Structure 1
Amino acid sequence: MRNDASAAARAVLELAEQRTPTLGTTRLVCVDGPAGSGKSTLAGAMGQQATAPVLHTDDLLAGWDGLPGLPGTLEELLEPLARGRSGHARLYDWHAGRFTDEVPVDPVPLLVLEGVGAGSLPAARRATVLVWVEAPYDLRMRRGLERDGEAFAPHWAAWAGAEEELFAEHRTRERADLVVDGTGRRPPRVTR
C-alpha cells in the first residue's frame, strides 16, 4: 500500500471532485477499515496531494475502550460544519490517558476523516466519498506492532473485536463507495 498510496489517493480525490459537497460547502472523504490496513498512509497521501487537512479518529477516541463512543463524537464535530460553522475536536493524549486539547475544525473545500470508525453512520451520512481499506489480518497486526510497538499487542484482540462490532453495526464496508486494497496488489475499486 505504501508505494501505491499515491495512485489510490488520486483515485479517491478524483471521485470526490466529481461529487457535490455534502458537509455544507465541504467535500468530506471518510477513510475507514480495520487497524493496520493502510488508512493513515492513504489519507496522508490524499492530504498532501490536495493540500487538505486530515483528521484522525485515533485523536478523538477516549483510549482503547473509546470506539463505541466515536459515532456520537463525530456527530458533535460534523454538525456545525454542515451548517458552515467551525466544529471543535477534543484531542486524546494516549500517553497521558486523557483528553488534553481542543482544536477548531474549520469549513474547508476538502476534509479527510481517517481511522477506524470514520465511516460510522453519523459521518457517512455527511460523506462525499466513503473509502474502505482492507488488508490481511497478519499484515495488519505486523503493521500495528511496527507502528505502536509492543504496547499495542495486549490490546489487539479486544480492539479487533470492537472494530468488528462497529463495522457490523454500521455496515461500513458494504456502504463504501470505493474499496482500496491495503497491500497495493489491486487497484482501487469503485463500488457505488
Structure 2
Amino acid sequence: MHSRSSDPLDSALTDATSRICAAVLGVAASNPVVVIDGRSGAGKSSLAERLIRGWPLRTPVQLLALDSIYPGWDGLERGAQTAREAVLVPHGRGRLGIWRRWDWERGEEAEAHAVDPALGLIVEGCGALTPASAPLADVTVWVDGPHASRRARALARDGGGFRVQWDRWAAQEDAHMAQHEPHLLAGISIRTP
C-alpha cells in the first residue's frame, strides 16, 4: 500500500505519473511520445521530471521542454511549431530530430540537440498539444490548476523576470487555448491544487 503524501501537489503529481506510466505501457512501443501541455505553473515540468524518473520502459526517454526553444517572451506559438516540425514529425517518421536551444540572455538560438527516433520522447510545455501535434503523440496530457496557485509556483520558480512578463505570457496561453482547445485533445487531464 502506498502512503499518501501530506502535500496535495506531490499527491496529484504522483497520481498523474502513475496514470501516464500506465498509458505508456499500454502503447506497447519502445519509443512512445508523450505530449504534456498546460498553463504556466500548473506542474508540467515537475510532472515531466517525475515521468523521466519513473519511465516504465527499459529504453531511456528524451525530454524536450518548450521553455528551451520558445524564441523569447512572444514565442509560444513559434516554439510549439518548431517542436512539432523539427522534433515530433521526424520522430514519427523514424528520423533524427534536431532542435536548437534558445539563449534567453542573448536573445538568440544556441547549440543544437538531437532527438533519437528509436527512443521515447516527452514534449512538455504550453502550446505543445494542438490538432496538428496530437496525432503525432501516443499519450496526450493536459495539466491545469487554480490561477493563484499556478502564478505563485511560476513566480517562485522563475523569479522577478517572469513577474513582469506574466500577463504577456498568459495572453499567449489564452490564445493557444482558444484556438487549439488542448484540454479537449488530452487523453489524460490532471488538476493540480
| TM-score interval (norm. to shorter) | 0.7 to 0.9
In structure 2, the partner of 1:186 is none
Work out whether residues 71 and 121 of structure 1, in 8 Å CA contact, stay in contact via their aligned partners in 2: no
CA contact (8 A) 2:131 2:180 kept: yes
CA RMSD of aligned residues (A): 1.6
Unaligned runs of 5+ in 2: 1-8
Amino acid at match of 1:123: S
- After superposition, residues 80-91 of structure 1 pair within 5 angstroms as 80-91=90-101
Partner of 2:6: none
How far apart, in 1, do the equivalents of 2:147 and 2:176 lie? Answer: 17
Q: Deviations over 1:113-157 (max 9, x none)?
A: 111111123321211111010110011111111011011111101
Is 1:10–2:18 an aligned residue pair?
A: yes
Aligned residues: 180
Distance 1:179 1:108 in 2: 27
- The equivalent residue for 2:159 is 149
Q: TM-score scaled by structure 1?
A: 0.87
Q: Pick from 68, 74, 95 the counterpart of residue 65 of structure 1.
A: 74
Q: How does 1:36-51 map to 2 (within 5 A)?
A: 36-50=41-55, 51=60
Paired residues of 2:96 and 2:114 also in contact (CA < 8 A): yes
Tell me the distance in 1 between the aligned counterparts of 2:130 and 2:100.
Answer: 18
Q: Which moved more, 1:30-39 or 1:60-69?
A: 60-69
Out of 174, 179, 185, the position equivalent to 1:175 is 185
Q: Alignment partner for residue 137 of structure 1, among 132, 144, 147?
A: 147
* C-alpha contact 1:75 1:123 (8 A) present in aligned 2: no
Kindly indicate whether the alpha-carbon contact (under 8 Å) linking 1:55 and 1:114 is maintained by their aligned counterparts in 2.
Answer: yes
In 1, the alpha carbon distance for the partners of 2:87 and 2:119 equals: 16
Cross-structure match for 1:114:
124
Task: Tell me if the contact between 1:2 and 1:41 (Cα under 8 Å) persists in the aligned partners.
Answer: no
CA distance in 1, matches of 2:22, 2:155: 32
Q: Which amino acid aligns with 2:49?
A: G
Change beyond 3 A, Cα 1:155–1:67: same
Structure 1: state its 5+ residue gaps: 184-192
Q: TM-score, normalised by structure 2?
A: 0.87
Q: Secondary structure at the match of 1:63?
A: coil
Q: Which moved more, 1:149-158 or 1:90-99?
A: 90-99
Given that residues 34 and 134 in structure 1 are in contact (C-alpha distance below 8 angstroms), is that contact kept between their aligned partners in structure 2? yes
